[in-house]
Amino acid sequence: MNFNYAERMSNLKASEIREILKVTQRLEVISFAGGLPAPELFPIDEIKEVNRIVLEEDGESVLQYTTTEGYNPLREWCADRMNKRLGTNFEYDHILITHGSQQALDLSGKVFLNKGDIVLCESPTYLAAISAFKAYECNFIEVPTDDDGMIISELEDLLKTTENVKMIYVIPEFQNPTGRTWSIARRKAIAELASKYNVIVLEDNPYGELRFEGKTLPSIKSFDNSGQVLCMGTFSKIFCPGYRIGWIAGHKELIQKYILVKQCTDLQCNTIAQRDIAKYLELYDIDKHIEKIREVYRERCDLAFNTMEREFPKEVKFKKPQGGLFMWIELPNKINARDVLEKCLERNVAFVPGGSFFPNGGHENTFRINFSNMPNERIVEGIKCIGEVLKEYI
Amino acid sequence: MNFNYAERMSNLKASEIREILKVTQRLEVISFAGGLPAPELFPIDEIKEVNRIVLEEDGESVLQYTTTEGYNPLREWCADRMNKRLGTNFEYDHILITHGSQQALDLSGKVFLNKGDIVLCESPTYLAAISAFKAYECNFIEVPTDDDGMIISELEDLLKTTENVKMIYVIPEFQNPTGRTWSIARRKAIAELASKYNVIVLEDNPYGELRFEGKTLPSIKSFDNSGQVLCMGTFSKIFCPGYRIGWIAGHKELIQKYILVKQCTDLQCNTIAQRDIAKYLELYDIDKHIEKIREVYRERCDLAFNTMEREFPKEVKFKKPQGGLFMWIELPNKINARDVLEKCLERNVAFVPGGSFFPNGGHENTFRINFSNMPNERIVEGIKCIGEVLKEYI
């Protein structure tokens, strides 16, 4: 067939994770691959109840078209939540409800990126952000990153010397894939650079509520005086991902542009989903629910970490994250994690090789472990298995 | 503030319809503006029931992430439905479930359009398709169109003489905004031109199920031998729009590209929405439900048309559509429908001026009437009011 695609299509390839996820749908597979929440924690009965109530109370509007901006009580909740936790100062009209965080990434590309523009990102960074932005034909420069976040001097050097930097994309809490958390000093510093160099910072924060230890840190946005920082949130990890409801928050002028772009992209988010979630937040205690998730993930994280310490060869490097869903593993340079994965898949254990998280390639000696989706005994069994395969290589 | 947007942003402006819809949220306004279904026909009790059942039967997967392609039983239903009604030959994997039809438009832009590419469309055409494609910085050429669809000789002349035509966008059934339906001969002819000139035809069909008279016609896709025709569908007009579930169907190679692009745009559609709708289709008789909608809209269409015949000055031209949601009105050349709208809004009656439906402007003497959303007595009252305002102008 002779189809005539847009040029951008040559930049896009299927997400490695979603391809691996197809394998992991087999029940016998122990999967550390996806970023899937633990489904046994979904508040199924409560959701049944809120859906019944919203349909009974207001079925005709709940099933109808609604505004692009999103349901106002939900926008208000998002603003309040960020203000309370993250030191921001939002009102409901600083918020656009999006079809999951992923759509906020896509809309950000649409609002800001011309072909050939530069996106600066952590090295490594979230794989699906890379593909969202790539659709707008940008290029990436990976900013050297350590345990405290991007190295600020390196970031400033890049901002000074690089043309057409449009956006800096960061995940300062329990980063995907590394699990790292930015220091307060670095958060403050990047907000200052955003203002100085007139460049957008997109602060992604899907895991921030899932902190296992220590105190919540102020967001990058809380240090923003110029309006150049936008921040994102999602119900996928604290409620459930099936609803596809997230949000983006920022300066009103920017959010107006996002609304315009969302309007021509998909008109609006699912009305029912927005109303169900708003009703849940009204009737139930989401903090209690999140505490339950946090407990379970903390235990799984500890268990995975302790098992790795016991079972992985000592040449393998990893650290325990303060929260979130992921751990990051570095193998000796000569070992390719894709080979390790192949051997593990033969034994029904899956994870994601780290190479895909580097937009400019390399780093094939790394991989990512998700610890939220498997019960305890399978975590131990799966990590042991990876350990055995690693011992064959080292 | 000094924000640095992408160039495409200068092409986008807020949809006039959605701005007018904000006005029409006031209960006293008689609105012929949106394309809103009649909410009193939504199957609220049945939806409550199917949501309860899917959460009880399979809550953990219903609330979890799922595949980008969509829920297979739902994809299968879409394929079967099109095959039965429209003479196509689809299987489930020719279908991608989308976040409403609007997302299928957006993804089409992403898959096919480079900056400066040409989209051919009916004159006039669906306003939100114009804005969806404009985000990809294409240009539009309006193809002269009569009561039977695009004039084929004019279309072929354009295909012969224009470079970079990537897509022909058409709504062959009860077109938005004109209410017109393409003849079978024209459907066949455009499919042949698509093959001859190697250009994509995007066949949008949101209203096809809402036929008030005559027989269902074969789709353009049913005449397609080259794979160049893609067709779209939606649950918004036959079920309810709040779910934001639609689909696009076509050659497997094309659908693979759409899946790739949807993956980086928003990962997947709402899992719960897909499961609710699939369960409804399994447990209830959607044909019976659609028949009910059809009856009500037929009556409202007749009523609006008859009232217009009685109340509008004889210089005003309009025709009765065979189905759908819309009627198209042409005023004498010198009259600007935006002025008429202003006067009508003062009297709490709204419609959409026709100018916005022409991507290259002009035709300010036209407007669109939606007849599906208002009860009978308000239809009569509203049309009378427009008639009175028109008499002041003519």
Same-domain status, A260 and A379: no
- Test the B interface: residue of A63, A98, A114 with most B CBs within 10 Å: A63
| Within a domain: B177 | yes
pLDDT in tens, A209-251: 999 999 999 999 999 999 999 999 999 999 999 999 999 999 9
Mean pLDDT, chain A, rounded, equals 96
Task: Say if residue A192 is exposed, middle or buried (CB neighbours under 10 Å; 0-12, 13-18, 19+).
Answer: middle
Contacts of B115 in chain A (CB under 8 A): 115
Same-domain status, A161 and A267: yes
Contacts of B3 in chain A (CB under 8 A): 200, 227-228, 251, 253-254, 257
Contacts of B200 in chain A (CB under 8 A): 3-4
DSSP string covering A55-75, please?
Answer: HHHHHHHHTS---SS--HHHH
| Within a domain: B2 | no
Last residue of a domain, one of B230, B263, B283: B283
Phi (first) and psi of residue A113, to 5 degrees: -100, 120
Same-domain status, A226 and A266: yes
Number of structural domains found in chain A: 2
Return the pLDDT at A143: 98
User: Are A112 and A106 in contact, with CB atoms under 8 Å apart?
Assistant: no
The interface predicted TM-score (ipTM) is 0.96
End-to-end Cα separation, chain A, in angstroms? 47
Determine the residue of chain A that is closest to B267 in CA distance: A102
- Give the CATH number, domain containing residue A367: 3.90.1150.10
User: Are B357 and B365 in contact, with CB atoms under 8 Å apart?
Assistant: no
Last residue of a domain, one of B283, B317, B333: B283
> For every one of its 394 residues, what pLDDT tens digit does chain B have, with 9 covering 90 and above?
689 999 999 988 877 777 787 788 788 999 999 899 999 999 999 999 999 999 999 999 999 999 999 999 999 999 999 999 999 999 999 999 999 999 999 999 999 999 999 999 999 999 999 999 999 999 999 999 999 999 999 999 999 999 999 999 999 999 999 999 999 999 999 999 999 999 999 999 999 999 999 999 999 999 999 999 999 999 999 999 999 999 999 999 999 999 999 999 999 999 999 999 999 999 999 999 999 999 999 999 999 999 999 999 999 999 999 999 999 999 999 999 999 999 999 999 999 999 999 999 999 999 999 999 999 999 999 999 999 999 999 8
Same-domain status, B252 and B147: yes
Q: What is the DSSP letter of A211?
A: B
Q: How far is CA B335 from the centre of its chain?
A: 27
Strand partners of residue A248: A96, A232
CB contact under 8 A, A12 and B261: yes
| Within a domain: A271 | yes
CB contact under 8 A, A4 and B243: no
3-state DSSP assignment of residue B98: strand
Name the residue among B128, B131, B272 with its Cβ closest to that of A242.
B272
How many contacts does A have with B, using Cβ atoms within 8 A?
259
User: Are B68 and B259 in contact, with CB atoms under 8 Å apart?
Assistant: yes
| Within a domain: A5 | no
User: Are A244 and A99 in contact, with CB atoms under 8 Å apart?
Assistant: yes
Phi (first) and psi of residue A118, to 5 degrees: -105, 135
| B265 close to A (CB below 8 A) | yes
Number of helices and strands in chain B (H, E)? 12, 15
| Within a domain: A2 | no
- Test the B interface: residue of A23, A264, A270 with most B CBs within 10 Å: A264
CB contact under 8 A, B263 and A135: no
Same-domain status, A303 and A262: no
Q: What is the DSSP letter of A113?
A: P
Three-state secondary structure string covering A275-336: HHHHHHHHHCCHHHHHHHHHHHHHHHHHHHHHHHHHHCCCCCEECCCCECCEEEEECCCCCC
Last residue of a domain, one of A283, A307, A329: A283
- Give the CATH number, domain containing residue B250: 3.40.640.10
Same-domain status, B262 and B374: no
Same-domain status, B93 and B111: yes
3-state DSSP assignment of residue B252: helix
Q: Which helix (H) or strand (E) holds A350?
A: strand A349-350
Three-state secondary structure string covering B270-309: CHHHHHHHHHHHHHCCHHHHHHHHHHHHHHHHHHHHHHHH
Return the pLDDT at B23: 80
- Enclosing domain of residue B367: 10-43+288-393
Same-domain status, B113 and B127: yes
**In what side-by-side order are the strands of the sheet with B246-249?**
B95-98, B246-249, B229-234, B200-203, B165-170, B118-122, B139-143
Same-domain status, B17 and B125: no
Same-domain status, A238 and A302: no
Same-domain status, A389 and A274: no
* Euclidean distance between CA atoms A298 and A83, whole angstroms: 25
- Dig out the tokens for A165 from the structure: 């930097």
Same-domain status, A316 and A278: no
Q: Give A24's pLDDT tier (boundaries 50, 70, 90).
A: confident
User: Are A142 and A358 in contact, with CB atoms under 8 Å apart?
Assistant: yes
- Test the A interface: residue of B36, B52, B65, B356 with most A CBs within 10 Å: B65
Q: Which helix (H) or strand (E) holds B145?
A: strand B145-146
End-to-end Cα separation, chain B, in angstroms? 47
Contacts of B39 in chain A (CB under 8 A): 60-61, 63-64
Q: How many other CB atoms are there within 10 angstroms of residue B74's CB atom?
A: 24
| B246 close to A (CB below 8 A) | no
User: Are B376 and B303 in contact, with CB atoms under 8 Å apart?
Assistant: yes
pLDDT in tens, A85-121: 999 999 999 999 999 999 999 999 999 999 999 999 9
User: Which residues have CB under 8 Å from A346's CB, separation 6+?
Assistant: none
Report the share of chain A in percent with pLDDT over 90.
Answer: 94
Q: How many other CB atoms are there within 10 angstroms of residue A93's CB atom?
A: 15
Q: What is the DSSP letter of B253?
A: H
3-state DSSP assignment of residue B235: coil
Phi (first) and psi of residue B5, to 5 degrees: -80, 165
**In what side-by-side order are the strands of the sheet with B366-370?**
B317-318, B326-330, B366-370, B352-353
Determine the residue of chain B that is closest to A244 in CA distance: B270
- Dig out the tokens for B347 from the structure: 């009297």
* Euclidean distance between CA atoms B147 and B181, whole angstroms: 7
CB contact under 8 A, B113 and A6: yes
